Structure 1
């Protein structure tokens, strides 16, 4: 199978919820000493919940879509070669972040999410972010708009905020922690020009805020596909404007160049100029 049918989005949403119910929430605030490991740093963690949820989701995807490719964050951590050329295929590719916001999850903070995107022919065609705590989803298929789906089945359209008109009237999230100097200090300092800022350490929840019209922009330096493909598609389908920091389109193949998502092109340009002002 090389495309999605109307029932597949419902099935994918249910799969993410099942992973939350069976593998994630039973371990939330219930992790043992050996259940949390460092990857690249003390802020880059993996837990038994990440590993088991990804394993469960991957198995179910390959059973339903046996000709597909599955790219999971933890699988790539074990075998980075999985990223070689993965997006340039006409087969469906599913990209999974089993727990986005693992630092929060491991710390007992209820700001994390399960993220899944679907890629075909180098384009993101669908994205879902599931909140296992709130038990709801934000979802989009390319060209179909973005929605919030509640547990009882009610749905409502997502829409980015109205343009604020000036940076000092904007609330946003700028993830500068992984930037090299002097960019790191410059962006961190210049974010003070904004009306307000949020820093959830969780792209799943930060993209939710911008898609729902609660903040005006999100900025990230590190581009791993599981962190951003679902959220950027959702932002665009909610009416927002997404580009890499050089102004080019963000595509699944990109692993660098940063990404900025804002309410509209004018706001994107204002934020890009303000945060990089010397």
Structure 2
């Protein structure tokens, strides 16, 4: 069995139009729940969009393991199964839930396809812009629009450290390491954090930033973006220099335009 990637991309778009956008800026208190802490939440739209996507995936590709963010919250064993599945679809129904719940128009719907422990396709759909960035392994990274237009994507040219622009998530670092990294970011030109990995990956693969760093590695947040980054010419590895794989949930992640930039950032900024 193989996954039709354009069909999966359409499912993400349909889920956004049916379940996510109609609820945007229309959530009341009863539609938002805290999971582990105030910055980790789920909304009625997350749950409805995941049910929508799961049903469509099951109808088209019944043998594929479905690993959704909300499904794993209910059944953590799905993460273990992902490491050995012949074929799996990994979904984040709303990436950037905190932004979505706050009424900020910066969120995404994402999916990755995993086969035998390797990510083979990734899709990041932007409901507000109504387009996708996507990649299949070995096929390059692309911006695709509903009218069929496609633009190949490439990461930015390398820059000296002092001129680099990027994003860094420090929320899940120990407090002392958080201070260390934030102090080190004074060495670059600009560092930001959008609270939505999907748009940080989109910015990077479109050539508008030179780095991204994350500490918490859940597969629905990063599998699609890492593959798209690599297909756009970028270099990604965990903080110990090892490849990032679908079963990894820790170890940190750093993405840069090339290995030399990665090593420079790791040495000078992300020193934890």
TM (norm. structure 2) is 0.98
Work out the CA distance in 1 between the residues paired with 2:269 and 2:191. Answer: 13
Work out the CA distance in 2 between the residues paired with 1:277 and 1:45. Answer: 30
Work out the CA distance in 1 between the residues paired with 2:96 and 2:85. Answer: 29
**SS of 2:81's equivalent?**
coil
Count residues in correspondence: 272
Work out the CA distance in 2 between the residues paired with 1:241 and 1:277. Answer: 18
Tell me whether 1:246 sits opposite 2:240 in the alignment: yes
Residue 52 of structure 1 is aligned with which of 34, 48, 60?
Answer: 48
Match of 1:27 in 2: 23
Tell me whether 1:261 sits opposite 2:255 in the alignment: yes
CA contact (8 A) 2:82 2:246 kept: no
Tell me whether 1:112 sits opposite 2:107 in the alignment: yes
Match of 1:193 in 2: 187
Q: Which runs of 5+ in 1 are unaligned?
A: none
**Aligned-pair CA distance for 1:197:** 1.5
**Aligned-pair CA distance for 1:9:** 1.4
4+ runs of 1 displaced by more than 3 Å?
A: none
**SS of 1:130's equivalent?**
strand
Q: Which runs of 5+ in 2 are unaligned?
A: none
Tell me whether 1:273 sits opposite 2:272 in the alignment: no
Tell me whether 1:154 sits opposite 2:149 in the alignment: yes
Match of 2:201 in 1: 207
**Aligned-pair CA distance for 1:167:** 1.3
Residue 125 of structure 1 is aligned with which of 120, 129, 140?
Answer: 120
TM (norm. structure 1) is 0.96
**SS of 2:175's equivalent?**
coil
Higher alpha-carbon deviation: 154-163 or 193-202: 193-202
**Aligned-pair CA distance for 1:184:** 1.2
Match of 1:177 in 2: 171
Q: Deviations over 1:177-211 (max 9, x none)?
A: 11113211111111121111221100000000110
**SS of 1:182's equivalent?**
helix
Tell me whether 1:16 sits opposite 2:18 in the alignment: no
Work out the CA distance in 2 between the residues paired with 1:109 and 1:189. Answer: 28
Tell me whether 1:234 sits opposite 2:228 in the alignment: yes
Superposed CA RMSD: 1.1
**SS of 2:119's equivalent?**
strand
CA contact (8 A) 1:171 1:194 kept: yes
**Aligned-pair CA distance for 1:277:** 4.9
Match of 1:99 in 2: 94
CA contact (8 A) 1:93 1:119 kept: yes
